[in-house]
Chain A
Amino acid sequence: MVIKMDENIDYDKLGLMMGLEIHQQLNTTKKLFCPCECELTDKKPKYRVLRYLRPTQSELGKIDRAAFEESRRELTFLYDAYPHHTCLVETDDEPPHPLNQEALEIGLIIATLLDMQVVDEFHTMRKQVIDGSNTGGFQRTGLLAIRGHMETPYGKVTIENLCLEEDAARRMGQRKGKVEFRLDRLGIPLLEITTDPSMKRPEQVREVAYQIGQVLRSTKVKRGLGTIRQDLNISIREGARVEVKGVQDLDSMEQLVKNEVLRQLKLLEIKDELQKRDAQVEDKIHDLGEQLKDTESKIIHKAIKTGGKVLAIKLKGYRGLIGKEVQPGRRFGTELAGYAKKMGVAGIFHTDELPAYGITSREVEIINQFLEIEEEDAFILVADEKDKARNALEEVQRRAEMAMGGVPEETRKALDDANTEYLRPLPTASRMYVETDIPTQVVSKELLGYVQANLPELPKEKEARIIDGYNLSEDLAHQLVRQNRVEQFEEIVAECGVEPTTVASLLAYTLKELRREGLNVENLSDSLKGTFQLLKQGKISKDAVSEVLVGVLKENWTPEEAAGNLNLLMLSGENVSTIIVEIVSANEKLITERKMGAMGSLMGMAMKELKGKADGKLVNKLLKEEIQKYLQ
């Protein structure tokens, strides 16, 4: 069966299974293992530290495969550091301080809210990660609770693990083999919440993510871009477990799942075809320097000129499959290139796309002859420094070999177009060992009891409470909770005494619209109260609230100034009367013709003039009286 890119997929039939992993930064005063603040900074770094990382040795074969692959790249790491914003703990020049108890408590609250079993004694571990994102070469992490449950309309989901860990350093870029990181993020406490891989539908994943998000938001967690990160485990029955990192947007998740399932299906098709052709990856790496010495290809020419090599491998039985699309716009060749790029090369050339990129059909012919390429065979070409090119081709050989087994287990990165790209092999349990610098910590019954007795209000409880207490609609209450504005709502209602629905709808809807217009509504704080006070005092009308706020935000006025400058202050009853009398006398003809039927048109005219400056009810009443007076 061959699947098309735009075909609908029957997930049940394929045995789709998904698990979710959520990483949430905590909003603690200090980092997990040092006293630095948990804030990012855009300031220029005061100094930089240069480091290398080596995987720690183990019994042969017991080295973590992800760590091993990273180590083959021999990267130099540069860390942006600050004399005060960061300290020696982040630069790995001082042992970690004891575990942050505030972070532990938040973890316990969330464990309790998710109905999880808290471990009796917390052990801090080192999870080996040598891509440079942790200065020590490992991330500190510990298992805090296991086995919680969550009800969803699609069935029960098990929350397998809750881990308390430190966030990694922020990757700033890469220049000439040097990877640059900033230490501001390293050490911010994170909670990692992992579900079992039992979810069968994208909608269910989204529901679980939403529910977990609601629980997280009831405690001291960070908010905003980059403070929560989601990874998705995806597998189909015949495929393999793939961990997709950095699923930012749950709305695009469905497409992402579809694209990944497609990829696995396509790789299975490729596997079947390779087996049918009795395909084979040849070990030998050939040097094509002589054959391509006069090439017009800029990349190859440059590599040769700067002392590099043009190397090639032969893949027997792979022709046509390398150019096969596995995700919309991505080919099997892209997968091979993904492995090669990890060794620092810019990319690969393969049979299915040549002649192109300055490589002529004549040269392809020469290469084919030299490598004894037959009809179904393919070759891969890499031009770069000798070691890089060789490592890259070895990786391509390894990946091509895996293709005969179907889908490899991998960690992949979510891309903006809902495709995924190879990051590294799935890490194994062998990358965990104990952090000897942090004493183990017993989670005492007293502490757990205290946490359980002081749980924060859950979102759904909060929602129910404000619906009852303020007579709000379900939708309004839901929006306030979702946008984390309940506290603000209650404060304004209590202080300004304005009608709750008015306040709620402004907070829930109007602010959202203003934000969409590009205004930074988070800067409002006290001005919100000031504006509602004007409303309460009858100085502005309900309709004017939003315009007043725009004035506050755009011009930096106080609410009073905004109301005055924008001509939004309510007119006194007398002034309103004068305007209405004017309107009536200007339209005598109409009134004579239509009697009270003129009310509608006149009301429209009056409101056009008085909008925001007079209450509609008052205008209506005065207008009615004035028409009646005229008719009498």
Chain B
Amino acid sequence: MSYRGRAKQFLESQNISIGDMISIKKEAVEYRGMLLDRAEDADQLHLVLKMASGYNVGIALDGAEVELLEKGEKPEINLPPLDIQQDPEKKDVSIISTGGTVASIIDYKTGAVHPAFTADDLLRATPELLDEANISGKAIMNILSENMKPEFWVQAAQAVADEISGGADGVVVAHGTDTMHYTAAALSFILETPVPIVLTGAQRSSDRPSSDAFLNLMSSVAMAKSDIAEVTVCMHSTENDNQAHIHRGTRVRKMHTSRRDTFNSINSPPMARVKEGKVKIIDKNFHYHKRGECQLEVNDSLEEKVGFIKSYPGITTELLDYHIDNGYKGLLIEGTGLGHCPDHLIPSLQRAADEKIPVVMTSQCLYGRTNLNVYSTGRKLLTAGVIPAGDMLPEVAYVKLVWALGQTSQREEVKKIMQTNLKGEINEKSSSKYFLRDYGE
């Protein structure tokens, strides 16, 4: 249990554990109910009771007379396994879970939320998936997406590859939304795929009836059955529950802390829209890899020691020097405007170049492309060996640099990789359509 200090001592001395029915008497009143666990970060002075009405209350231990009424059974969820028949008419879609609660089960007795990890749990929560495909599922890790690390990208990529070589017609990766776009980029560079790989998640956790998880999952499975054999992100396209967008894994970014339609394609339109289970390409001119066009291939050596630095008006050289001094193999800079940083950083950047550390320049504007020829600072940065990343998103360029340095340690090779379009992450042409703005004017 998560009770600590005084509360824990007290409960242990009374032989009371979570799930027991207890009575707590205070001056004028008696509370009866089931003892619940307490949040780990809460104080040590209160007990939490679930009353018969279903309400939880916290009752201070001070001046309380506690009595054990009945030992309870430790609440646990025991669900019978599902017996699902494979339908040879349907496509096989694998769902890989990396954590986050795309599906969860609520224990109403305690009110606790249990993430659904196994395919069975997932199907119990979303049985409609079975109408769409033969679903098999695997939980490969259970981490919040803010805790993702490059080594987990490799794990995820290998798990996806296993599913593909095992015959899956498409793979859905359930992922926390915070860093979903990093993982999407990583899988894009690591894998050559003959089938669709779709990342999805939920902005409103699936323990609430209004969760966006259902539409996202259903649309992802539809996408996994499609002809688009690329790594993509599938999430709500508006605040409405009736349509999802498919974003290319190297073009997508989380743009809102909480909205359902948080994911946007930047410097590119979304690839497709999914409505009522149908995938429709948005821009007919959009080139994409078709199912079966290439063989499965895994290039998963990465160089984790890459720094990611944002330029800002008060930035000092120490930040750059720290990375150089501490053996970083590459630096990704999120510059201002066309791709600038203050010129007092140039000596440090020159130092990085001298030590053969590639320094890649992106823009914190996100929209548009870098151009280091327009202003003198830009030209000086070029002279100092900085590699402009074009219209690549900073996060994507960071992931690409991690991957490129895993492929080669030659600075010139890295530069070539960074400036070559591999997975749709670079586009030479900018369109006026790629900048969204709607103030209802």
- Given A59-B107, A91-B239, A136-B210, A123 contacting B204 (CB threshold 8 A): no
Q: Are A56 and B209 in contact (CB under 8 A)?
A: yes
Within 8 A of A (CB), among B159-196: none
Number of A residues contacting the other chain (C-beta, 8 Å)?
55
| Interface check A161, CB cutoff 8 A | yes
- The contact of A434 among B56, B78, B79, by CB within 8 Å, is B56
Chain A residues positioned under 8 Å from B125 (CB to CB): 57
Q: CB distance B260 to A120 under 8 Å? A: no
Residue of B nearest to A62 (CB): B108
Using Cβ atoms and an 8 Å threshold, which residues of chain B touch A442? Answer: 43, 46, 58, 60
Segment with Cβ contacts to B, from A124-132, A390-398, A468-476, A517-525: A124-132
In the complex, chain A residues whose CB is within 8 Å of the CB of B13: none
Query: A159-185: contact bitstring with B at CB < 8 Å (1 yes, 0 no)?
Result: 001010000000000000000000000
Q: Which of B47-55, B244-252, B350-358, B383-391 contacts A (4 or more CB under 8 A)?
A: B47-55
Q: How far is the CA of A428 from the CA of B111 in the complex (A)?
A: 14
A123 lies within 8 A of B55 (CB): yes
Chain B, Cβ-Cβ closest to A121: B58
- B141: CB under 8 A from chain A? no
Complex Cα gap A46–B439 (Å): 12
Q: Taking beta carbons and an 8 Å cutoff, which residues of A are in contact with B?
A: 46, 49-60, 62, 64, 67, 83, 88, 91-95, 117, 119-123, 125-128, 130, 135-138, 141-143, 146-147, 161, 163, 428-434, 436, 440, 442
B258 within 8 A of A: yes
Q: In the complex, what distance in Å separates the CA atom of A137 from the CA atom of B210?
A: 6
User: In the assembled complex, which residues on chain B have CB atoms less than 8 Å from the CB atom of A128?
Assistant: 209
Instruction: Mark each residue of chain B from 91 to 125: 1 if its CB lies under 8 Å from any CB of chain A, else 0.
Output: 00000000000001111110101000000000011
Contact B258–A88 (Cβ < 8 Å)? yes
A123 near B48: Cβ-Cβ < 8 Å = yes
CB distance from A295 to the nearest CB of B (A): 34
CB-based closest 9 A-B pairs: A137-B209, A121-B58, A432-B54, A429-B54, A433-B111, A143-B55, A120-B60, A50-B240, A430-B108
Contact at A120–B242, with CB atoms within 8 Å? no
Closest residue of chain B to A441, judged by CB?
B58
B94: min CB distance to chain A, Å: 22
With contacts A59-B77, A125-B54, A163-B55 known, is A50 near B242, CB below 8 A?
A: yes
Task: Contacts A59-B79, A161-B53, A433-B106 given; indicate if A119 touches B209 (C-beta within 8 A).
Answer: no
A432 lies within 8 A of B108 (CB): yes
Contacts of A95 in B (CB 8 A): 258
In the complex, A440 Cα to B109 Cα: how many Å? 19
Given A429-B54, A431-B108, 9 additional A-B pairs, CB 8 A: A50-B240, A59-B107, A62-B108, A95-B258, A121-B60, A143-B53, A433-B113, A434-B111, A440-B42
| B26, B52, B57, B125: residue with the most chain A Cβ atoms closer than 10 Å | B57
Whether B240 and A51, one on each chain, are in contact in the complex, defined by CB atoms closer than 8 angstroms, is yes
Nearest B residue to A67 via CB reads: B209
Does B208 lie at the interface of the complex (its beta carbon under 8 Å from any beta carbon of A)?
A: yes
Within 8 A of A (CB), among B223-258: 239-242, 257-258
**A568 → chain B, closest Cβ, in Å?**
54
- Judged by a CB distance under 8 angstroms, whether B214 is at the interface is yes
Instruction: State in angstroms the CA–CA spacing of A56 and B125 once bound together.
Output: 8
- One digit per residue, 1 when the CB lies within 8 angstroms of any chain A CB and 0 when it does not, for chain B 273-309 equals 0000000000000000000000000000000000000
Chain B residues with CB under 8 Å of A146's CB are 29, 31
Q: Does B39 contact A (CB under 8 A)?
A: yes
| Contact in complex: A52, B56 (CB < 8 Å) | no
Which residues of B come within 8 Å of A, CB atoms?
Answer: 26, 28-29, 31, 39, 42-43, 46, 48, 51-60, 77-79, 104-109, 111, 113, 124-125, 203-204, 206-211, 214-215, 239-242, 257-260, 440
Q: Are A138 and B208 interface neighbours, CB within 8 A?
A: yes
CB atoms of A122 and B58 under 8 A apart: yes
Q: Which of B107, B207, B211, B240 contacts A49 (CB 8 A)?
A: B240
Least Cβ–Cβ distance between A245 and chain B, in angstroms = 18
List of B residues within 8 angstroms of A433 by Cβ:
106, 108, 111, 113, 207
Residues of B within 8 A of A120 (CB): 46, 57-60
B51 in contact with A143 (CB, 8 Å): yes
Complexed CA–CA distance, A92 and B208 (Å): 10
CB distance from A227 to the nearest CB of B (A): 24
| Residues on B with beta carbons closer than 8 Å to the beta carbon of A127 | 54
CB of A94 within 8 A of CB of B258, answer yes
Residue of A nearest to B116 (CB): A57
Is B240 within 8 A of A58, CB to CB?
Answer: no
Q: Which of A92, A95, A117, A136 has the most CB of B within 10 A?
A: A92
Question: A95-B258, A440-B58 known; A58 and B106 CB under 8 Å?
Answer: yes
Bound CA–CA A135/B55 (angstroms): 21
Q: Which residues of A contact B107 (CB under 8 A)?
A: 58-59
19 A-B pairs, CB-CB below 8 angstroms?
Answer: A54-B211, A56-B206, A58-B106, A59-B77, A59-B108, A93-B203, A93-B258, A94-B258, A119-B57, A119-B58, A122-B58, A136-B210, A138-B208, A138-B209, A141-B55, A428-B54, A429-B54, A430-B54, A442-B60
The reply to whether A53 and B209 form a contact with Cβ atoms under 8 Å apart is yes
Assembly CA distance A161 to B52 (angstroms) = 12
CA distance A136 to B107 in the complex (A): 18
Residues of A within 8 A of B28 (CB): 117, 147
Contacts of A46 in B (CB 8 A): 440
Q: How near does chain B come to A196, taking the closest CB pair, in angstroms?
A: 12
Bound Cα distance from A436 to B41, whole angstroms: 13
* Cβ contact within 8 Å between A136 and B209: yes
Known contacts A51-B240, A54-B214; A123/B58 CB under 8 A: yes
Complex Cα spacing A147 to B211, Å: 36
A125 close to B56 (CB less than 8 A): yes
Q: Are B124 and A56 in contact (CB under 8 A)?
A: no
Known interface pairs A88-B259, A94-B259. Does A130 touch B209 (Cβ–Cβ under 8 Å)?
yes
